[in-house]
Structure 1
Amino acid sequence: MSDKLSKYRSKRDPKRTPEPVPDAPSSSPDGNAFVIQEHHARSLHWDLRLERDGVLVSWAVPKGLPADPGTNHLAVHTEDHPMEYLTFHGEIPQGEYGGGTMTVWDTGTYVTEKWSDREVKFVLHGERASGRFVLFQTRGKNWMIHRMGSAVRDPFPSVSPMLPTERAKPPKDASAYAFEFAWGGRRLLVPIDGGRTDAAREHPWLRGLAESFGSRTAVLDGEVATLGGAEILVFYDLLYDDGRSLVAEPYTVRRAALEALDLTGAHWQTAPSWPGEAGAVRRAAREQGLPGVVAKRLDSPYEPGPSKAWLFIGS
């Protein structure tokens, strides 16, 4: 009988890595456990491992499991892993194979519907991952993973930014609005999916932000502004959060969800907001040399294009 773990052992030195390195596969080959590990290595990915014949047959999935049957994700077939890897989490030293942080994203059982050298069809029963999937080989180590059935999240909103209309004075019913600084920057929508964002093509420093989201999906709205001589992305709205579209929700709901993300970094921050505080915010904007303030109705949904629910008042 061939040693299914020989390739796994050849890539690891038990004196240098905390990963399990057993001498032989498990003696119980009929189990049906699975694990998905979030792996912050050279590039973020998720490792899907299915128990079969005493080992964990493994695929690295750069964008995680697809949530929509209309979109397949790449899955790279890797070496079989030992059963002890079902619960492994920790820090693999940099310089070692797979160096980086690994956490258990989900675990549970699965049902095999088909298993061949080129196609694996299965049903996951986990706490976070569930449903029918099929893995199919495309070329060499490269496979694709497809979700069967219906989508498990809202589609990403395809919208243009909501824009304020100009007004000379603050609204009389100030208590119905939140007041924010007008930053005078360049507007930017940031979609995040699978720990990645297309916005990083223009702003590479956004890769760290996207990776910090892990498997959480989001669409953020903000401006790239120059503050203190540095380029900062200031976020002030959230259109999509963890599989759910927020564009129809009132500003208060979107704002609370945005603040819960606690977005603070070297290149990004969450914009402050002051409900009902028209005069003080306008004075502060003037003192800081900002163009003015934006009044946002607390009950307004996100409306693409010019909207009377957002008002720009010059400082």
Structure 2
Amino acid sequence: MPTITIDGHRLNLTHLDKVLYPDTGTTKGEVIEYLRDIAPAMVPHLAQRPVTRKRWPDGVDSNFFFERQAPASMPKWVPRLSVRHKDRTVEYPLIDSPAGLVLMGQLAALELHVPQWTVVDGKPGPITRLVFDLDPGDGVELGDCARVALAVKEQLTAAGLSSYPVTSGSKGIHVYAELKTELDTDPSQFARKIAKQLAKDWPDLVTATMAKTERAGKVFVDWSQNNPAKTTVAPYSLRGRAEPTVAAPREWTELEDEGLRHLRFDEVLERYRQGGDLLSTSLNSLRTYRSKRRRGKTPEPIPDTAPDTDTSTPDESTPDGELSFVIQEHHATTLHWDFRLEHDGVLVSWAVPKGVPVRPGPNRLAVQTEDHPLDYRTFSGTIPDDQYGGGRVEIFDAGNYQPIKWEADKIVFELHGDRIRGQYALIHTKANQWLLHKIKKANERPVPSSNGGSASQPASESTPLPRDLKPMLATLGTTEDLTSMPEDEWSFEGKWDGVRAVGEVRDGKLRLHSRSGRDLTSTYPDLAWIGPALGEHKAVLDGEIVTLDADDVTSFAALQNRLGLTRKADIERAAKKYPAEFFLFDILFLDGTSLLTKKYVDRRHILDELATSCDGITVPARLSGDAQHALNESHRQGWEGIVAKRNDSPYLPGQRGRAWIKVKNQRTQEVIIGGYRPGKGSRADTLGSLLLGVPDENGLRYIGRVGTGFTQPMLETLSGKLQRLSRKTSPFSAELKPAERKDAVWVTPRLVGEISFTEWTTAGLVRHPAWRGLRPDKPPDEVRIE
């Protein structure tokens, strides 16, 4: 009889050759080996939750029994929790160690079920997570459950909750959501409301009714799992099925695979060895950060959702696969510099007491701290003295970096900042301590010393005019996001309905380029006067190219007549009929000085002064009052919306964060045209509707069709362009329903346009869309869900 020692506990293991899964020949010994190896991932999902066991002592082809009470023979080192039920008190075991999990295998407790609440101070505590059990009725496939799971995710995201899927290993799918704060209502009723809404939206596929007679051909969204008396099989638990399948955590992208299936224990174990615990990666990477901060007590960003850890695709805000970095000067108990590198969806962070070295030679101590959220890239402000890290935080430098090597004990990278540039290495020495030094490169020029910056870091030198800076991007927000914005910390501007552009002025000439880097100079010759107007100034300006209607309101429809023209005669003719203006709202560089690290209010002051001294330059005034007043004014003026900007925010080229938040008066979405339906009646010579998509991990995702909002010139232009792009096969990643692909003419997905719409449906389609026009300034690979 083999005896093993785990966590200092001796376990006698018996009958290891007994077959528990006859169809696959899987033995008790193999089950125990799986539980021992998966324990680091599985135990956290069991710990502090009373465990109900479902045991098959003689294998899954024989009878099983539920067990709640911890038997008298269970070792005393296994913690217990006494729970009072209506008819009796049950002493449940708490499995909080690998040894306890292996013990479950010895008892042939294949399925381990736990509630959604955890133990607090030796008593049942509050519910810490929601779970939806998606149970397929007769005739329903796992893929149907996946569609419903994605709809559940959409509902949870709208409620501000991050979620993750688990294929149950039995029939359906579980969708979990972590509760970081208490809900305004009972969790079970909150889940019931979501289930009822899904049943209303998808009556042919979803039911929220308990009665089994209602489940045939549908997915039952079991919301009752959130009742304190209910339990759910734990993630990574085996199931008592014919094969040793597992309740397996999955990526959301996997749920869109046509071949989605349940996974066996050996497959799940290999996935864990290759990529770790998906649930830990999704939910725990910022847990330390959150635990040290109190919402409402500190101005620091505290994310509600988990970071995106998928590193297969570079962040859209960084060019050529580069990632972002930031250095923040932190006037805490002792002055130090916080150095942060974007990695796996978070900012990996170090405190550097003497600052980042600016020349090769010195090694600087760097103490690794907790990971920070990506929104921290734009944070500057004062943390109250009674809060963790109390003191003033200012952006010292920010930019992009290129990773060269990222290993457990050594990180090599090249920084491309305004003040800090060059190759650096971080070398791990012990515990949380690292050494940071700059790598000397051949023919490297010495970096000038400080002359006005902080005591240990260099001030910026006079630099040449930078080229091709990408504009800083705003995060889409809602009216509710604006209500908590203190008037003295934020400024509000109009959101202009045009084409975003960066203007470079040098030697009296203006060069314009779009957000994607496309040169727009020749497209807008009527803006060339800006170069001579600035005279001898060298400047980089951020703004919006617009066309005004008769009421001096920006008109995207009028601007459509300027977009996509290439022939000089056509451009000149359109410029006379639809003259463009360049609304400026930021300045990034002026006369040898980079302004990227300056506060927004300081940059805005410089821009206003420049406009005063240069005739004709248009800098729309900031809106007075609070956020609601600004939004009301934008409604009254007929603008697209407003943009809120933190007064102390630096300018981070090409990056998107919550230092700038845009709120629209109507919802819009950039789209890619994947096909069209020929027109009928008055449109017989053009088109009836466009089939639209947006890129996702699998290709081009269909989001619906649009048939309104077109002018006759738009229809004629589109028809000509689309006929030249026709193809035989659909460009969409999934096959469209018969009603959606009826009479469709497929096209190569090259044309980008923009629509307005009322809302997204739970199926991921746009509701009541209207066409706004083509966006030749936007390449297809930049289209994202707003």
TM-score between both structures, scaled by the size of structure 1: 0.49
User: Structure 1 or 2: larger strand share?
Assistant: 1
TM-score between both structures, scaled by the size of structure 2: 0.20
Structure with more relative contact order (C-alpha pairs < 8 Å, separation 6 or more)? 1
In our comparison, the structure showing a higher alpha carbon Rg is 2
